[in-house]
């Protein structure tokens, strides 16, 4: 049995509506091509094929660029961290990326460090023009590794291990910051996360620190005992001086006056004159 096909009805749109749809679609694609959305915490730098890097900085939000003629390069303006670590899963480089550095007393240490930095957003066009978007590999990493090694070499292993670690961090931060600033980079802080010595030297340092603590404790105990003895001497001296002062004031007139004050008005029961006392014994009647 033959099947009968019926043609679908054709819908004819008025010419004005069809043109409007075409215009809307074209406008949408034009908007998508020209609209630039800068995400939070980023800035955009415009590269113009005719004029090069433009001095304007696009802040976060909506901006526009000429399609196929201008392109926008994004820069992260937030604080960034670059970690160099012995652990492969902690640092920016997925392998042992710790620093080998000599100390002033000839010891070799391995250091895990973190660099906290950010770009100067106002200078982002200059950064793109002079350094490029790969400023971490070109500046952050080599400068930080070099200066950290140089500063560590000024301290002994014991100082890096304990007493002057924070001082070394402050020196590193100051010196690396002085090198970053002309490159439109701002250093926040250098952190020495871990300082590793050989097992033998670590044990020697630990024993030395413990011995120094014991010496300080012994000195404290001696000082405390000395102070206690001095306090007792001062107390005894004060007591002796008080007794001497009291004896100097005990005259015969003063003692007689005190006796009169304490007399209850009764005559004593034992009186005597010479060697044979007369004892007054009351008789009961």
**Residue extents of the structural domains in the chain:** 25-76, 80-197, 214-252
Q: How far apart are CA 260 and CA 269, in angstroms?
A: 17
- Residue 45 CB contacts under 8 Å (≥ 6 apart), including other chains: 53, 54, 57, 58, 72, 73, 75, 124, 125, 128
pTM (predicted TM-score)? 0.61
Q: Of how many residues is the chain composed? A: 285
CATH number for the region 80-197 comes to 3.30.479.30
Residue 161's pLDDT is 75
Quick one: tokens of 34?
């020209």
Nearest residue to 136 (alpha-carbon basis) of 185, 88, 89: 185
pLDDT at 237: 78
What does DSSP say about strands 61-64 and 70-76: parallel, antiparallel, or unpaired? Answer: unpaired
pLDDT at 200: 72
> So what's the pLDDT on residue 261?
67
Task: Tell me the backbone φ, ψ of residue 231, rounded to 5 degrees.
Answer: -65, -40
Residue-level pLDDT at 89: 83
Whose tokens are 């100067």? That residue is 120
* Residue whose token pair is 């008080």: 242
Q: What is the mean pLDDT of each run of 10 residues along the chain (285 residues)?
A: 57 61 61 78 94 93 85 94 89 86 88 95 94 94 94 88 86 95 94 83 71 79 80 74 68 67 63 52 50
Q: pLDDT value at position 108?
A: 87
- Position 199 scores a pLDDT of 74
Taking residue 1's Cβ as centre, other Cβ atoms within 10 Å add up to 3
Output the pLDDT for position 285: 47
């Amino acid at each position: 049995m033959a099947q009968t096909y019926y043609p679908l009805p054709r819908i004819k749109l008025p010419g004005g509506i069809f043109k409007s749809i075409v215009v809307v679609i074209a406008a949408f694609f034009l908007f998508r091509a020209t609209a630039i959305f800068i995400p939070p915490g980023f800035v955009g730098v415009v590269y113009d094929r005719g004029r090069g890097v433009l001095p304007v900085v696009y802040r976060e939000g909506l901006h526009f660029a000429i399609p196929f003629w201008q392109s926008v390069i994004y820069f992260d303006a937030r604080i960034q961290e670059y970690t160099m670590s012995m652990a492969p899963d902690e640092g920016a480089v997925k392998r042992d990326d710790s620093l080998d550095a000599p100390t002033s007393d000839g010891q070799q240490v391995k250091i895990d460090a973190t660099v906290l930095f950010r770009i100067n957003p106002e200078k982002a066009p200059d950064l793109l023009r002079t350094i490029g978007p790969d400023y971490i590999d070109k500046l952050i990493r080599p400068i930080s590794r070099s200066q950290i090694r140089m500063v560590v070499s000024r301290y002994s292993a014991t100082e890096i291990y304990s007493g002057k670690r924070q001082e070394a961090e402050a020196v590193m931060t100051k010196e690396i910051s002085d090198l970053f600033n002309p490159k439109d980079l701002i250093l926040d802080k250098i952190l020495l996360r871990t300082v590793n010595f050989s097992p033998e030297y670590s044990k020697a340092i630990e024993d030395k620190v413990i011995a120094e603590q014991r010496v300080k404790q012994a000195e404290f105990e001696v000082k405390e005992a000395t102070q206690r003895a001095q306090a007792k001497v001062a107390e005894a001296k004060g007591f002796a001086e008080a007794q001497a002062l009291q004896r100097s004031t005990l005259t015969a007139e003063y003692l007689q006056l005190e006796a009169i004050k304490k007399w209850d008005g009764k005559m004593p029961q034992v009186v005597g004159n010479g060697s044979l006392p007369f004892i007054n014994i009351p008789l009961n009647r």
